[in-house]
Amino acid sequence: MYIQRSIWSLQFLLLATYVRAQSSINNLTLSFSANDGQGNVTFSTASAPSTIACFNLADIFNNDGNASSASSYVVSNAQNFNSQTNYTSLFYQQLNTSVNGDSSGIGTGKDAARTVEVFPGEDCRETGGLSWYGFSCQNEDGERYVIPGGVQSFSIVSKAESVKQEHCWVLSERGSASNNFKGCFAAVMAAALTGTLLVLG
C-alpha cells in the first residue's frame, strides 16, 4: 500500500498545484481528537484535488512533521498523535472565497469546494461494519462532530469530481452499514483498492 499512497500523494501534489492556480478556495481544516476534544491533531490544505486523495492519520501525523513540509498540506499538533487513540471527534471547517468579487457562494450550509469522507479503517475503507461519513457543505466557524466508529483515514476530492449529491453533506452517514448506501462511491473505492492490491500482489 505504500506505493499506492505515494502515487496518491504525488497526484495530490500535482493536481493541487493545478487547482490552486485557477480558483480561490479557502483552506480546509480537519482536526481529530478523542471524545473529550483534547489533544487534537490537525490537517489543513488549500487544495481541492480533482482525483481522490486518501490519507491515513497514522501516516500524516506519525512522524516528526518533516514529511509534510514539501507538500500541499500542513499538519499541526502531530506530537499529540497516538496510534492507540480512537479518533471519534472531528472538527471540520471549510469555506469558499469570493470569485471575482462575487461573494454569493460563501456561507455555512452552501456547497463547499471539496467533499471530505472519513473512514473507520485505514486506506479509506470501511471496517467492522462501521459506516463512513461525508462532508461537503461549507462551515465558516467550524464545527465538532462525533464520528461513531472513529476515524483512521480520510479522503478529499473536489466536489465537482465527487459523487452526485442532492444536497451537500453534513455528517452524512454512508457505506454498507448505513441506509444511504447507493453502492456507487464505496464500490468504486473498493474496486480501485482491490485493483491496486492485485497489481502489487
**Interface residues with ligand NAG (CB under 6 A)?**
23, 25, 27, 31, 40, 44-46, 63-64, 66, 73-74, 77, 86, 88, 91, 96, 105, 110-113, 128, 130, 148-150, 159-160
3-class state of residue 160 by DSSP:
helix
Provide the minimum distance between the beta carbon of 182 and ligand NAG in the complex, in angstroms, as a whole number.
21
Provide the minimum distance between the beta carbon of 16 and ligand NAG in the complex, in angstroms, as a whole number.
9
Phi, psi of 159 (to 5 degrees): -60, -35
Provide the minimum distance between the beta carbon of 142 and ligand NAG in the complex, in angstroms, as a whole number.
7
3-class state of residue 44 by DSSP:
strand
Which of 59, 99, 62 is CA-nearest to residue 82?
A: 62
Give the residue with the Cβ less far from ligand NAG, 61 or 73: 73
Nearest to ligand NAG by Cβ — which residue? Answer: 105
Give the residue with the Cβ less far from ligand NAG, 106 or 192: 106
Provide the minimum distance between the beta carbon of 158 and ligand NAG in the complex, in angstroms, as a whole number.
7
Give the residue with the Cβ less far from ligand NAG, 129 or 195: 129
Number of residues written out for the chain: 201
Give the residue with the Cβ less far from ligand NAG, 39 or 181: 39
Provide the minimum distance between the beta carbon of 187 and ligand NAG in the complex, in angstroms, as a whole number.
23
Provide the minimum distance between the beta carbon of 62 and ligand NAG in the complex, in angstroms, as a whole number.
11
Q: At a CB cut-off of 8 Å and minimum separation 6, what does 168 contact?
A: 109, 110, 111, 112, 136, 137, 138, 159
Tell me the sheet residues that pair with 156: 53, 116
Give the residue with the Cβ less far from ligand NAG, 60 or 112: 112
Which of 111, 138, 116 is CA-nearest to residue 48?
A: 116
Q: How far apart are alpha carbons 91 and 80 in whole angstroms?
A: 15
Q: How far apart are alpha carbons 117 and 110 in whole angstroms?
A: 17
Give the residue with the Cβ less far from ligand NAG, 58 or 200: 58
